[in-house]
Amino acid sequence: MTMRETLAAAGYINLGEIYENLPAVKLVELALSRGEGCLSSTGALAVETGKYTGRSPEDRFVVKDETTADTVDWGKINKPFDPEAFAALRSRQKAYLEGKDVFVFEGYVGADPNYRIPVRVINEYAWQNLFIHHLLRRPTAEELVDFKPEVTLVCTPGFKAIPELDKTNSEAFIILNFTSKEILIGAAAYAGEMKKSCFSYMNYMMPERGVCPMHCSANIGEDGSTALFFGLSGTGKTTLSADPNRQLIGDDEHGWSPEGIFNFEGGCYAKAIKLSEEGEPQIWNAIKFGSVIENVVMNEDRVADYDDDSITENIRTGYPVDYIPGAVLSGQGGHPKAIIFLTADAFGVLPPISRLDRNQASYYYLSGYTSKLAGTERGITEPQATFSAGFGAPFLPRAVGEYADLLRANLQEYGTEVYMLNTGWTGGPYGVGSRMKLAYTRAMVTAILNGSLADVEYETDEIFGLSIPTTCPEVPAEVLNPRNTWEDKAAYDETAKKLAALFVENFKGYHGVDADILAAGPKQKQ
């Protein structure tokens, strides 16, 4: 069947022009001709997403039915949606598209052919189709001939829900239906909603197939050693994985199967606030023709100002992974030699580097800690702890314990080492201390991966119980123990106790956790 016949059979009738699996250059041309954006001085397509400049978690739902009633972790993150309301909203969305041009992309979530999921994406905007063309895995011409999608994602930013009629929270909606295998997005133009919805779909499907899905970046060295970087937004996950001395597998979403690591994506979606060529050359140079930049301010010469957050602090750029020199285009690697948890601790009390045992790895994985900075959000006047289980709770439909068990089993099976790096503050909290130098953090990563830390002495932090190396190549020894960097030692002790208490309080929300994992957390000394 033709694509028009295929879509009509699915209920998408009387459509305007159907643009099917177009190459990036044609999507850029169409986006420009339709007034969806403009070219920056480097040739990237610059767009604005309007009201929604980031994810809208209050508008995200999962259809609750016989399939999901006992398999989804229901709560504030995975909010239930009625199947009948979903069907009605889907019908209204289809009616909205009548007479409108649509852009269709067909590709895969997942680089490993044994586990990948074929997906069809239907977009209202050419620029969003360009984005998803980069962020998902692009099939070969031969694979497209008999392409059969498992899941269909429909994104219509121009269609607004009516909450009283559609049972949504607002005009915007992001709804996953694991039974009908559909994802519906409306009103919100922020492209990250599409990406993260595909990630959430994989996170639900993979555990049943023996794959541990992970919100992490991955790269590989010349010796074939794979490293994973877990971390919430702003912790350096994308920056540290884009290492000129290593090959990038992927910057955000991966699976760990019995065969090894595989990327879920075909591209990168990097945060670009305060981006500089000196600080992050690989990302800087990837912003060229074919790339997409969201919500960046440009001057009259169309030069992007990545320091200007007047539209949003969440400036983003999306580009194919092959824009990164030496990237692993297969998207696959072996079992990881090391896993690195990243946190931007604005309290300034966590060590810049610490080694975790298996129980500590489970504890800090379940905690998923970083912190918000004073002044970044209205009402925040001092650092605030942020915990996101699995370093990606908003995208984990199942109970986080299922993912933690998979990770722990893999660590045991393959002997992977786990470290935690604090890319945040040293010498005091935000506003007093200073941000950890990127050069030091990169040196710590190098030391982990080349084995330099295997034979050095370690000391144990009295409050957090973490093992801290006393020496690390290319890093001043006095930086390694955070207490030593504070002029006011008593202030350090009080701040450390405060953060430890926040960890303990957060962990009270987890039930059925093994006693040895509970004991691996911070100690609340008086």
Residues annotated as catalytic are 55, 196, 215, 233, 237-238, 252, 316
Q: How would DSSP label each residue in 202-213?
A: HHHHGGGGT-EE
Mapping DSSP to helix (H, G, I), strand (E, B) and coil, where does residue 185 land? strand
Q: 54, 413, 420, 443: which is closest to 257 by C-alpha?
A: 413
Contact call for residues 446 and 419 (beta carbons, < 8 A): no
Q: Sort 124 into a burial class: Cβ within 10 Å, 0-12 / 13-18 / 19+.
A: buried
Strand pairing category for 60-63 and 173-177: parallel
Q: What is the pairing mode between strands 417-422 and 353-356?
A: antiparallel
Nearest to 350 by CA among 500, 524, 507, 501: 500
Assigned token pair, 103: 């852009």
Cα-Cα end-to-end distance for the chain: 71
Taking the C-alpha atoms of residue 423 and residue 442, their distance in angstroms, rounded to an integer, is: 10
Q: List, as one string, the DSSP characters of 49-93.
A: -TT-SS--GGGEEEE-STTTTTTS-BTTTBEEE-HHHHHHHHHHH
HSE (CB half, 13 Å, CA atoms) of 310?
Answer: 5
Q: What is the DSSP letter of 373?
A: P
